[in-house]
Amino acid sequence: MRTGITARQSEIAPCAVCGGSGWRQVAGSPTQQVMRCECFSESQKKSLIGAAEIPARYAGCDFASYRAENSQALGAAKLTLEKWAAEYPLNRTGLLLIGPSGVGKTHLAVAALKEAIKKGIHARFCDYRELLKQIQNSYNPSVQATELDVLKPVFEAEVLLLDDLGAVKPSEWVWDTVSLVLNTRYNDNLTTIITTNFMDGPAAGAGAARAGREETLGDRIGERMRSRLFEMCRLVQVQGKDYRPNFRTAGLR
């Protein structure tokens, strides 16, 4: 028996309902009315998920798998993002998730991004450090990608998840790049979801004014862009204990 060929044929066989056309006839319709077949919607969702470039590490992140660890604060953050996802795109205000490492900010942000994608929204995941690295690489004459090639999908995504904002040591070039990305999306009225480990606060002055205190979001991205964020986004505090050591310990058992 040629079972291998049969299995392969079954994998690529067209939909039994629409025959691969993507349209099906409306049951009971007196005329030849048609509607989109369910297979088309599923295919579209898979395509949009792939285009979003969500890293494999976060591929399984959704609201159902998020662990609030019996924390009222984390539970409240989850409810806020679930409500945002349910209302989008009626409410296009972005989200700014602030909290320490290991509380699941990226998990929640990816879960919200996926819910938007289910509605047919073109979205994209973007790691802040990786983005800056790719832009810097584009200045190398041996690299074919230009700065515009790198930034074009970031500028055009209807919903952008910018993960770990402020993770790169600030410089004039970093501030200019952050300004370009955020201002472009602000001016185009596009939605941005942002995560950061830096607590909100204004930038300190030079020298002694910074001594003895932790750096703030204002320090890392500049005061002007910090102000812009609050025009673009709703602040969501994601406060709790780092649960990742528990996962690592469980994995050793």
| Residue 28 banded pLDDT, cuts 50, 70, 90 | low
Tokens of 203: 């930038």
Cα(23)–Cα(29) distance, rounded to whole angstroms? 14
Round to whole Å and give the CA distance between 109 and 85: 10
Closest to 129 in 3D by CA, of 79, 177, 97: 177
> Residue 239: pLDDT band by 50, 70, 90 thresholds?
very high
- What is the second-level CATH architecture of the domain 41-252? 3-Layer(aba) Sandwich (3.40)
Cβ–Cβ < 8 Å for 122, 51: yes
Domain ranges (residues) in the chain: 41-252
Give the tens place of pLDDT for each residue, 73-131: 999 999 999 999 999 999 999 999 999 999 999 999 999 999 999 999 999 999 999 99
Which run of H or E residues covers position 125? strand 123-127
Cβ atoms of 210 and 175 closer than 8 Å: no
Segment 123-173, tens digit of pLDDT: 999 999 999 999 999 999 888 889 999 999 999 999 999 999 999 999 999
**How far is 120 from 20, CA to CA, in rounded Å?**
20
Confidence of residue 69 (pLDDT cuts 50, 70, 90): confident
